[in-house]
Structure 1
Amino acid sequence: MEIFRTSVTLVSLCLLHSSLSETQSLCRGNLPPVQHVALNSSVTIPCPVLTAPEMVFKLYKGPEEISYVRINNTHIIKHNNGPRKDFSGSFKVNDTNNSTSFILNSVTVNTTALYTCEAERFFPPPFQKVEHKPQTIVFVEGRPVRKRNGCQQVNHLAFWVVLGVMSVYGVVMTCTVFILRIKLNAPFKDRECRRKWQGVQHPTWQGFYIDTV
């Protein structure tokens, strides 16, 4: 089912964003990762690694730029939503490995789209665009996604296995006892039948004669 939904999403995005440039195109054969998220939850869009003291990161929803962030020495000094004033999100820099990402908050069904993150180096010169442009497909579920507890699944599986073994054992034991009972009762029935037939004795016919002695 998830594969079917993913395929439908990819086809829809290909048709919807057919006007994208070659570097942004989804339909050229490279399959971006797909993130299935629940309504009103958050989703992380990865961006290029921070490799210079001063960089700019731009987030695109399809062909439309929805946000950009300017960073100077790992500090966010400028955050502008551009034409999308309704953009609800933030930008994060991981101090451990300098990875960066946009975080979309309170997602809705309209959040479903292909997202591309681009980066540009401003300092030290020369100005240069980062070739790596991560793309992510965000697919917002129509209803909240319930997280399944692995421990509960294992416990339920163990319960049904034990119940099945006990049921089979009970059926086997019942059949065994029933068969043994039939075999044990059979000799007694044969004896009773024999006694009944032996108990009915017909008297021998004696002829009428006179003892003349």
Structure 2
Amino acid sequence: MEIFRTSVTLLSICLFHISSTLSETQSICKGNLPPVKHVAVDSNVTVPCPVLSATEMDFKLFKGSDQVTSIYIKINDTSINKNNNSPNFPADLNVNHLDNSSSFILFGVTTNFTGLYTCEAEIIYPPPFKKVPHTPQTIVFVEERQVKISDLCQHGSHLILWIVFGAMAIYGVVMTSIVFILRIKCSQIITPFKDRECRRKWQGVQHPTWQGFHKDTVV
């Protein structure tokens, strides 16, 4: 009984791991992750930001949970003034005058720039001061050889196949052990019926005696 409980527990753990791996892989392959940009070393990459929707706004760029730069935008009648609060970070804010879309441009990136970037924006003027709810995110990979999402999905499918094969192998070994142990225990149990059958086998078959009809006569 203890072996059966152990086998059920192992199978449940394997199935849970398979289901979680499947959901994660499907999430990646279906495009539920933020946009991924693969760039080479010393190249430029753009990170989208919220739309410029006020006269004065503050745009902040985060790498993970750390703020890496911040640029203050003030729109005049004829120009857009920028105030970079992190001049040492190689980035600038670009604003498209046609649709007011904005994005940070990272210059001459290295492998240390790899990470998840989030762009936040705050409306400074006109009041009231408020934070823009839309916060675009972008995953940046900086490396010599570009890795595509299709390759990631292919490796994930291979991992799933190996997990399924391992779960089936563990289940087969456990069930085979249970059956073997049960057969040994059953062979050690001697029932009265089995004992009678064994005695008949060694004593041979005894045929019933045929008795004829006869009359007792009294002389």
Q: Which TM-score applies when normalising by structure 2?
A: 0.49
| Identity fraction in percent | 56
- What is the match of residue 51 of structure 1? 53
Given that 1:111 and 1:140 are in contact with CA atoms closer than 8 Å, whether structure 2 keeps it comes out as yes
Choose from 67, 79, 82 the match for 2:84. 79
C-alpha displacement of 1:143: 4.8
CA distance in 2, matches of 1:94, 1:77: 14
- What is the match of residue 63 of structure 2? 61
Q: Deviations over 1:41-84 (max 9, x none)?
A: 000000000001110000001111011111111613311118xx
Aligned-partner residue type, residue 141 of structure 2: F
CA RMSD of aligned residues (A): 2.2
CA distance in 1, matches of 2:34, 2:58: 22
- What is the match of residue 108 of structure 1? 110
CA distance in 2, matches of 1:130, 1:144: 33
Aligned-partner residue type, residue 45 of structure 2: V
Q: State whether structure 2 residue 14 is matched by structure 1 residue 31.
A: no
Pairing of 1:59-208 with structure 2 (within 5 A): 59-73=61-75, 75-81=80-86, 85=88, 87-143=89-145
- What is the match of residue 44 of structure 2? 42
Given that 2:42 and 2:109 are in contact with CA atoms closer than 8 Å, whether structure 1 keeps it comes out as yes
Change (3 A) 1:144 1:32: closer
CA distance in 2, matches of 1:124, 1:39: 41
Q: Which protein is bigger by CA-based radius of gyration?
A: 1
**Which structure shows the higher helix fraction?**
2
Given that 2:38 and 2:146 are in contact with CA atoms closer than 8 Å, whether structure 1 keeps it comes out as no
Given that 1:118 and 1:133 are in contact with CA atoms closer than 8 Å, whether structure 2 keeps it comes out as yes
The number of aligned residues is: 115
Aligned-partner residue type, residue 96 of structure 1: L
Change (3 A) 1:143 1:39: farther
SS in 2 for 1:110: helix
Aligned-partner residue type, residue 127 of structure 2: P
Given that 2:122 and 2:129 are in contact with CA atoms closer than 8 Å, whether structure 1 keeps it comes out as yes
Q: Deviations over 1:62-107 (max 9, x none)?
A: 111011111111613311118xx3x111111000000000000111
Q: Deviations over 1:155-203 (max 9, x none)?
A: xxxxxxxxxxxxxxxxxxxxxxxxxxxxxxxxxxxxxxxxxxxxxxxxx
Q: Which TM-score applies when normalising by structure 1?
A: 0.51
Given that 1:58 and 1:65 are in contact with CA atoms closer than 8 Å, whether structure 2 keeps it comes out as yes
